[in-house]
Amino acid sequence: MILDDLKAQFGDEIESADEVGRELRVRVRAASLVAMCRLCRSRGYSYLSDITAVDTGSDMRVVYRLVSLQDGGHVVISVGVPRAGGSVPSVTSVFRGANWPEREVYDLFGVRFQGHPDLRRILLTDDWQGYPMLKAGPGQPK
């Protein structure tokens, strides 16, 4: 079971872990993110479905969804990140496909990914000011 492997390897680095159906939701400290992705990948979770961020207005997290192409299980890894100009390690060394979604999270939320080979805006123009997906930005009533 992947959860036991993760607990054995990362122990206190795991802030919380819940199993919801076929989904394992793990919240981990940023320092262990890359190692955890690498372990999941070696256990068959080789398909990086998506990387995104969620800003609640008071705190923010980056969310990674890894899927096993063998049994269809999901591991959803969350990492807390400071809302203004925070950074997390890039997982491009584990999944080459992380390049673009990390750029998108940077572009829209302002999260910096340490070790990313090419961190620049992707959807918005290069001279865009600010990060529109943050809560309390322009045009945001909540």
Partner 1 sequence: MGPQHPSTHGVLRLKLTLDGEVIVACDPVIGYLHRGMEKIGENRTYAQFIPYTDRIDYLSSASNNEAFVLAVERLAGIEVPERAQYLRVILLELNRIASHLVFVATFANDLAATTAFLYAFREREVIMDLFEMWTGARLTQSWIRIGGVGSDIPGGFESKAREFCRMLGPRLDEYDALLTGNRIFRVRTEGIGMLPPEEAIDYGCSGPTLRGSGIAFDLRRAEPYEVYGKLGFEVITDTACDCMGRYRVRMQEMRQSVRIIEQCLDQLPAGQVQAKVSRALRPPAGEAYGRVESPRGEFGCYVVSDGGTMPLRVRVRAPSFYHMAVLPEMLRGWKVGDVIAILGSIDIVLGEIDR
CB of residue 105 vs partner 1: minimum separation in angstroms?
A: 10
Beta strands (DSSP E) in 21-141 are 23-28, 47-55, 60-67, 74-81, 87-89, 112-114
> Footprint of partner 1 on this chain (CB under 8 A)?
22-23, 46-50, 52, 54-56, 63, 65, 69, 72, 74, 95-97, 99-101, 104, 108, 122-125, 132-133, 139-142
Say if residues 15 and 69 touch (Cβ distance below 8 Å).
Answer: no
Task: Please say which residue, 35 or 49, places its beta carbon nearer to partner 1.
Answer: 49
Task: Please say which residue, 23 or 31, places its beta carbon nearer to partner 1.
Answer: 23
Burial class (CB in 10 A: 0-12, 13-18, 19+), 3: middle
CB of residue 22 vs partner 1: minimum separation in angstroms?
A: 8
